[in-house]
Structures are given as structure tokens and as C-alpha cells.
Structure 1
Amino acid sequence: MKNIRFLLIGVLFGIIMYKSEAASWYRIYEMFQFRSFHMYGIIGTGLATAILIVQYIKRKQLKDTSGEPIQFVDKKMSITRYLVGGTIFGLGWALTGACPGPMFTLLGAGYFASMGLVLVAALAGTWLYGIVRNRLPH
């Protein structure tokens, strides 16, 4: 029951995604054709918000829900890794019209058949990555 706040934050996030049309296939299609700034504005606002929140967490040395300090670990830069991963993610996003956030939002909005299939495929891809992860360059 103490984790109900996370469910409420997720529901609020879904409502915002739906109302801002960030979960709209048409808006995503527009973005990939460089016809509209709408999605770039949403993504840019999210990025700016994340930067501010991370800086706040670092300066205030905030702790997570279990009382442990929140730590940010630097990742090794790899052009190939980000190029291949970003291409796979972008192709999946363009083909389905949904990345993980809108995927659950559209599922909650009642698009069970199409988004159910996308969710199963996303879970299968995550499972497959878990299997081959040790053999990939990191």
C-alpha cells in the first residue's frame, strides 16, 4: 500500500502523455518526417526537466525509498553501441508508433489488440537481450 504513490504517478504520466498527444501515432509519424516541432518540444522539455532533477538530486544528495543515497554511474562512451541501439529503438518506435511510455498509455487508453502485440514483442526483445547481453560489447 505504501507504493500506491508510484501507481498514481504512473497514471498521471499516462494522462499527460495522452493529453499532450505524445502517444499519438500521427504525431510520431510527423516527427519522423520532420513536419512538426510538437514531439521534439515534448522530448526537449522532458530532457531539460531530467537535467534539472538530476542536478537537484546530486546537490541535495537525496536518498531513494530504502534510504540509500542515489548514485549516478558514468557509462562508457561507444559510438557503435549507441548507433546500433538507437537505430533499433528508432526503427521499433517508427514501426509501432510507440516507445515504452506511450505503449502503456495506449494500452490503458483501450488499444488492447495492437498495443498488446507491441508489448509482447517489447518483452520478448528485452528477454532476448538478457540472453545475449554477456556476448555483446559493452
Structure 2
Amino acid sequence: MKYIKYILTGMLLGIVLVKSEAISWYRIFEMFRFESFHMYGIIGSAVLTGILLIQLSKKYGVKTYNGAPITIKPKERSKYRYLIGGSIFGLGWALTGACPGPIFTLIGTGLFSMIIVLISAVVGTFVYGLLKNKLPH
């Protein structure tokens, strides 16, 4: 019962993703062909919301539920890191029609071929974990 809030939050996210058409392969295809602003609007509003919430949490000293301060460590800047990682992520997104977040929502809507994508994502994450120390960061 203590996990019910997470289940309900996930269900709400799934409903929002379906109703906003953010999981639609056709909307994603339009985005990659620069034919529609729909997905850019969704992604842009999510980025702006994230920026706003991070700035507000810094300003008001928001703490975790345990009372610890929230800290965000600065990341090392490397244009190649983001170029290569973003290209791999974008290629996977374009080929499958889904970024990692909505995979479960797509399976929940009955698109069972996404189970292959889910398995591939898990295997890819496992392989990255094995190779992480050997990769340039």
C-alpha cells in the first residue's frame, strides 16, 4: 500500500502522455522531419518547467522528504560527450518511435511490440554498465 502513490503518479503520467499524443509515432515522425511544432512545444514546456522548479527550489531551500538539502552537482562540459550521447539517443528514438519514458505507457496501450524495445533498453543499460569505466566521459 505504501507504493500506491507511485502507481497512481505513473498512471497519471501515462494518461497525460496518451492524451497529449506525446507517445504517437506519427507525432515523433513529424518532429524529426520538422513538420510540426507539437512535440517541440511539449519538450520545450517540460524544459522550462524543470528550469523554473530547480530555480525555485534553490531560492527557497527546498529539502528532500528526509530533510536533507537538495544539491545539484555541476557536470563536466564536453561537447563530444553530448554530441555522441545525443546522437545515439536520437537514433534510438527515431528508430523505435519512443524515448525510454513512454515505453511502459506504449505497452500499456496494447502495443506489445514495444516489449522488444524495453528488453533492448535494459540490455543496452546493462552493457553500458559493463563498459562505463572504459568509455570516455
TM class, shorter-length: over 0.9
For the pair 1:29 / 2:29, whether they are aligned, the reply is yes
Structure 1 unaligned segments of length 5 or more: list them.
none
After TM superposition, the score normalised by the length of structure 2 is 0.95
User: Which of structure 1's runs of 4+ aligned residues deviate more than 6 A?
Assistant: none
Partner of 1:125: 124
> Once the two structures are superposed, what CA deviation does each residue of 1:79-118 show, in whole Å capped at 9, x if it has no partner?
1110000000000000000001221210111112x11000
Going from structure 1 to structure 2, the CA distance change for 1:84 and 1:72 (only over 3 Å counts) comes to same
More displaced 10-residue stretch of structure 1: 96-105 or 55-64: 55-64
- Structure 2 Cα separation of the partners of residues 65 and 100 of structure 1: 27
> How many Å separate the matches in 2 of 1:2 and 1:70?
23
Residue 66 of structure 2 corresponds to 66
Separation in structure 2 between the aligned mates of residue 33 and residue 100 of structure 1, nearest angstrom: 20
**What TM-score do you get using the length of structure 1 for normalisation?**
0.94
Q: CA RMSD in A?
A: 1.1
Larger RCO, structure (CA 8 Å, separation 6 or more): 1
AA aligned to 2:126 is: W
Q: Does 1:18 align with 2:18?
A: yes
Rounded Cα–Cα distance in structure 2 between residues aligned with 1:96 and 1:136: 25
Q: Which residue of 2 aligns with 1:76?
A: 76
**Which sits farther off after the overlay, 52-61 or 34-43?**
52-61
Letter in 2 for 1:107: I
Superposed, which structure 2 residues align to 1:88-103 within 5 Å?
A: 88-103=88-103
Shift of 1:70: 1.3
> Is 2:7 the partner of 1:7?
yes
CA distance in 2 between counterparts of 1:27 and 1:15 reads 16
**Residue type of the partner of 2:31?**
M
Q: Distance in 2 between matches of 1:28 and 1:134?
A: 33
- Which residue does the alignment assign to 1:134? 133
